[in-house]
Amino acid sequence: MSGSAGQTGWTTDGAGSSAAMAGGARHPIIEFRNLGLWYGGYHALVDINETVYPKDCVVICGPSGSGKSSLLRCVNGLEKFQQGDVIVRGTSVKHCRDLPALRYHVGLVFQRFELYPHMTCLSNVRLALRKVLKLPRAEADRRAAEVLARFGVLDQAGKYPAQLSGGQQQRVAICRSLVLEPDVMMFDEPTSALDPEMIDDVLEVLLQLVREGMTMLIVTHEMQFARDVATRIIFMEQGRVVEHGTKEQFFSGTRNPRTRAFLDRVFKEKRAEERSR
Amino acid sequence: MGYELQWSILWEPPYREWILEGLSVTYQISLIAWAFALVIGILIGMLAESPFRPLQYVSIAYVELFRNIPLLVQLFFAYFVIPLLLPFALRRQLYDLGWEMGSAILTLSLYTAAKLAEHVRAGLNTVGRGIRQGALSTGLTWWQMEVFVVVPLLLRIIVPSITSEFLTIFKSSSLAMAVGVVETTYVTQRIGFNTFRWIEANTMGTLVYLATAWAVAIVMGVIETHVRVPGLLQRGGAR
Amino acid sequence: MTVEQVLSSLSLLATALLTYNVTLTVLAVLIALPVASLLALGRLSPRRVIRYPIAAYINILRSSPLLMVMFWVYYTFPMLVGGGNVDVFTAALIALSAFEAAYFAEFIRAGLQSIARDQHRAALATGLKPWQVSLHVIWPQAMRRMLPSLLTQTIIAFQDSTLASVIGLREVVQTTTIVNAREVRPIWLYSMLAVFYLCLCLALSRLVRRLERKTAERLTA
């Protein structure tokens, strides 16, 4: 049972890791097994069965309220699901006894950035390095500065989040998760709260991460981006996965009427937007 | 009218000493009660947002209890009833040590703590779930999130509401005279009774409270500007 | 303690409560509200001659303890208006009204200012005169917003009415003390008093909260 414990130093629950050991060279990073989530009487996620492999770029799309954000939050245990399980790098989230340790290996970037408003950008990025990884001050500062520089926001390091533009704030939020060197990066509608001019900005960053080989799970409306960057696409509606497949299958070969309708609507809006610019 | 204002009477002994004593007692009661109220209030407020149901109920019950009973009634209850609940020996000691002031401080602390708990709860609501989730996602434990992210933010948010409670405590300390504490309001009335210089006495009393309010407002204003979180006006809070 | 005694004490307290505390609160609020509206408008007036004195009144009243205001009215005022006495109830009423008016004024002012300027401009743009805009557009919206705070302040005024006992009014707290002097059952009597207020104020604040929720639904639904 020692397989996946080696590199990341997690406490692995016995039940999950044998599955990771089996099979060929590709061990899944995230597995959703019969995942079910209820909010009171409302069935938010219905029998989700999906797999995410290393270096995948999975885009999750669908109308509002389809459960996309909840799905992401189930992965790092922020959302307590009632049915099924999520296996992350061989560890069962349901039985995980050390959620904080699991969480920093899975980065989550929020729609509204959720930076700490009372701390400078540098402190925002540095906090987890100091408190979770227990790095000494100098080392933490160095790493934080390094990642901020990598995404072009080092000169904002001493400023407070409110003094930055939306695009810059989102980049700092990405740094905050990335500095912990996660195995997977998840993005919950990263460009929805941004003005149009800044969307491309952030999409550039995402593209950079994909090129560097990061495994990504992105919830987004930006179908053009999905077409450029995704390896797999999952379409959700009312808590269910209606359609999933590779990019090619999805964009050209889909026969599902609901998916077609969604794509048509999204691309029509996009064309109208571009014409008016 | 035939009434000559004679302000100098306030400066003559023994009235001068009375005034100073009243002032000192008012400040003592207010500041000590405030210190207790802060600690208790913040604790109870945080209980309301804790993940444990029973603790939430404790918090709600506490706040409702002390908010809905008038301060004067609470004071009388403390002054008359609490000693009776103690064994006889302690009872005498309590009165000897000055239970008038003790009951006033106790009542004021618990009452203000309830008010503060409400402000804390509102403040925690403003902090909202988003920031908490953001912090947890970077691997912080619940404890670390509360101590390093939530509480510092919370304290900065509630400075304005806390200021008004601070002012209220000074005004409420006047109730202590109902159980015999020699504080500012009592002194003003005594001087009035003795000298029949009601206007001068009452004006002085009012000025004391006004001056205190003014000073507190200035100090808190400075603190508020200092700790203000840039960009955090009225956030929507939890989704 | 017999059931009779319990009931007789209870009825004494309840009578005192209704006759004095409730009446005092209701009358004070009825007086304070119109006065407060005028004060609020004065506070917002562009003319300094009006604005400054009114702001001064509001600030002084809000910075002073209610007890001091009661003493002012009961002992000092008669001297200023040339002798004669004011009876306790009237003194308490004047004091409470003046005091609450200052607080109400601030809530009303906040309510009025919370209505966005653009509402005002939009209404004027349709040709309405300023007084019409105020009457039909601003005040109705403002009233809905202020109602919860005004009601909550009324409940607080109800609690504050107990202070009249200190100047000698035979309201519920004073009655409790008198009955206690006679029968010496402090634990029982003061607990009953506390429970009275607890139940009443709890019920009232629940009502206010429900009202708040209903108006919120109507405005946002």
Instruction: Kindly state whether C168 is in contact with chain B, defined as any CB-CB distance less than 8 angstroms.
Output: no
Mean pLDDT value of segment B129-150: 90
Task: Among A253-267, B123-137, C75-89, C207-221, name the most confident range.
Answer: B123-137
Instruction: Report yes or no: B174 at the C interface, CB cutoff 8 Å.
Output: yes
Beta bridge partners of A246: A232
Domain ranges of chain B: 7-227
B114 contacts: CB under 8 Å, gap ≥ 6:
B41, B44, B62, B63, B65, B66, B67
pLDDT 10s digits, A224-246: 888 888 899 999 988 999 888 88
ipTM of the modeled complex? 0.88
DSSP B129-194: HHHHHHHHHTT--HHHIIIIIIHHHHHHHTHHHHHHHHHHHHHHGGGGGGGT---HHHHHHHHHHH
Tell me the C-alpha to C-alpha distance, in Å, between residue A205 and each of A24, A225, B76, B228, C154: 32, 12, 67, 32, 56
Residues 6+ positions from C74 with CB-CB distance below 8 Å:
C86, C88, C91, C92, C95, C167
Instruction: Decide: A84 and A48 in contact? Cβ < 8 Å.
Output: yes
Is the confidence at residue C186, as pLDDT, over 90?
no
Q: Residue C167 in contact with residue C93, Cβ under 8 Å?
A: no
Q: Say whether pLDDT at B157 is over 50.
A: yes
Domain with residue C209: its CATH number is: 1.10.3720.10
The answer to whether the CB atoms of B81 and C191 lie below 8 A apart is: yes
Q: What is the pLDDT confidence band of residue B232, given thresholds at 50, 70 and 90?
A: low
Give C185: exposed, middle or buried? Use CB within 10 Å, 0-12, 13-18, 19+.
middle
Q: Which residues of B touch A108 (CB under 8 A)?
A: 133-134, 137
- The number of C-beta contacts closer than 8 angstroms across A and B is 82
- The domain in which residue C122 lies consists of 3-220
B229 interfaces chain A, CB cutoff of 8 Å: yes
pLDDT one-digit tens code per residue, A169-201 = 999 999 999 999 999 999 999 988 888 888 888
Q: What is the C-alpha separation between A209 and A212, in angstroms, rounded?
A: 5
Q: Check residue A1 and give its pLDDT.
A: 38
The residue behind tokens 């004006």 is B203
Contact B138 A128 (CB under 8 A): yes
List strands edge to edge, sheet with A91-92.
A42-52, A30-39, A83-88, A91-92
Options 3.40.50.300, 1.10.3720.10, 3.30.365.10, 2.60.120.10; CATH of B7-227:
1.10.3720.10
pLDDT for C179: 84
DSSP character at residue A33: E
Provide the pLDDT confidence category of residue A7 given band limits of 50, 70 and 90.
very low
Put simply, the answer to whether C68 touches B74 (Cβ < 8 Å) is no
Per-residue DSSP letters for C3-31?
Answer: HHHHHHHHHHHHHHIIIIIIHHHHHHHHH
Helix (H, G, I), strand (E, B) or coil at A82: coil
B213/C194 Cβ within 8 A:
no
What's the domain count of chain C?
A: 1
Which B positions 95-124 lie with beta carbon below 8 A of chain C?
none
Q: How far is B155 from chain C (nearest CA, A)?
A: 24
Contacts of B51 in chain A (CB under 8 A): none
Residues of chain C with C-beta less than 8 angstroms from the C-beta of B68: 159, 197-198, 200-202, 205
Nearest to B41 by CA among B107, B110, B143, B106: B110
Amino acid of residue A247? K
